[in-house]
Amino acid sequence: MHVLVVNAGSSSIKVRLLDDDELLHRTDLSADRGRPEPGALEQALDGLGRIDAVGHRVVHGGPRRHGPVLVDDAVLAELDELAALAPLHQPPALAALRATRSALPGVPAIACFDTAFHAGMPAAASTYAIPARWRNELGVRRYGFHGLAHEWAARRAAVLAGPRLRTVVAHLGSGASACAVAWDGDQPRSVDTTMGFTPTAGLVMGSRSGDLDPAVPLWLVESAGLAATDVAGVLDRESGLAGLAGSADMRDVLAGERAGQPDAVLAVEVWLHRLRAASPRWPPPSTDSTCSCSAVASVSAPTICGGAPSPGSPSSAWPSTSTSTQAPTRTARPTSAPTVPPHAPWWSTAARSSSSQRRYVPSSPEHTRSARCRRRGCRA
């Protein structure tokens, strides 16, 4: 069966043609803010031959969509209503979906949702401490995103490091999030993640702020006189690394940091601080494996892991079973783990700051060169 896969992200559109697990064709389209050049996607579809079905990555499925769905006009209309919750991703994904439906009439189109993997998170992880009406009638909750990537990476980590591991996956690209993954038999499931109601929340990203005191946007609108739409646009498109260092590209930021540019140095420190502080962690015996994937992980693994050796070097093998830990910065700062009650909840402060063995598994369908990180205590 020939399946065309269209992954419309915030900075690129990836097009793949598969015959079961065999890759037949690949095309990557540059897409500023998720939008390629006019006609580029249609041109990429020319000459691909037989296509039996098209699978689309769609970021937000809302409260109703917990699995893949055959797309028709009614589903499209439903997904259009969610565009305001993911303005960088939802409109481009739906535009790509409409373009392929038009170019391939009669070929089934299947939407696969980034939110679906997180739909079964425990209530403690998915619930905001807000009034019941907001939660029940308006559907305000932590949806989580990057679910397709997190599920794939967890499965890949299980292949490389052993089955049914308690894993933290760090998806580090223009968008970034971390996810704690447990296993029910052979099925991975999300138990916590850094993103929330929208993909703006969580870690510092290329152009998105990540977590922010909710009073800040209100103050900017009510006291500083900014328009709400302008504030929302800045938080999504002009914040994150772009707001701190002037570039949303981690390669540029790391180059600036190496050159001693103060803004770039600060940007890296803020990025690392939020990565350490916000990423989900397991209680003792804690995380069995951590895998980082996507573009940023492939160029900044030494930064994330405190100067990890390059892939393939003799010292990049699995870490020992020692209980010491090292903070994920360039200068090692040995720390000792606090005493944690045997049944401490995994979200507790003690559990979140405990030390344990962690394995770093480089796994990504696009960036398999990500470094294996030998150093322990890196909480990507």
DSSP H or E segment with residue 365: none
Least Cα distance to 203 among 193, 191, 216, 215 occurs for 193
**CB environment 75-86: b (16+ within 10 A), e (fewer):** beeebeebbebb
The CA-based diameter of the chain, rounded to the nearest angstrom, is: 62
Task: Decide: helix, strand or coil at residue 27.
Answer: strand
User: Contact 196/331 with Cβ under 8 angstroms?
Assistant: no
**Is residue 192 annotated as a catalytic residue, yes or no?**
no
User: Contact 125/142 with Cβ under 8 angstroms?
Assistant: yes
Least Cα distance to 84 among 235, 232, 207 occurs for 232
DSSP H or E segment with residue 58: strand 53-58
Task: Decide: helix, strand or coil at residue 69.
Answer: strand
Interhelix angle 262-278/295-305, rounded to 10 degrees, is: 90
Which residue has tokens 């152009």? 207
First vs last C-alpha separation in the chain: 37
DSSP string, 255-310: HHHHTT-HHHHHHHHHHHHHHHHHS--PPTT--SEEEEESHHHHHHHHHHHTSPPP
214: Cβ contacts below 8 Å, ≥ 6 apart = none
φ/ψ of 31, rounded to 5, equals -145, 100
Which one is catalytic: 114, 192, 236, 288? 114
Tokens of 319: 């870490």
φ/ψ of 354, rounded to 5, equals -75, 155
Point out the residues that are catalytic: 114
